[in-house]
Structure 1
Amino acid sequence: MSVQRTKGAVPEAAWFKSSYSTGNGGECVEVAAILGRVLVRDSKNPSGPVVEVEAEAWADFVGLAASS
């Protein structure tokens, strides 16, 4: 896992929010899948830090979150 500040490194069209995001100002993240990696950022601060994880690690995380 790495944390980086990326500005313009990933096209805005690559980012998406959860279908559970209501747009009412709640806590929300956006993700982008790029070359076997998943990038995660705060949707309220898109120019802020980006967390990068391997796609497999992201899939494991989502699976655990969904089973909770």
Structure 2
Amino acid sequence: MTAMEPETAVITGMVMGVIMVMAQIREIIAVTAQVMVTETGTEMVMDPETIMAEKGMGADYE
């Protein structure tokens, strides 16, 4: 990396930091969504009351 003015270095560092934080937030959202899908999927399979309630509301399980 070539030498740069202190102000430029600060701005570059801030931009890189913001990009890293945004990438972490996207990863957290992706993991949270995956966990929610997994939890709701297992609940639907394992909880007969949920299936019966949804059948009553017009859900179609065969």
Q: Same fold (TM over 0.5)?
A: no
TM-score (norm 2): 0.25
Between Structure 1 and Structure 2, whose CA radius of gyration is higher?
Answer: 2
Determine which structure has the larger strand proportion and give its number. 1
Determine which structure has the larger helix proportion and give its number. 2
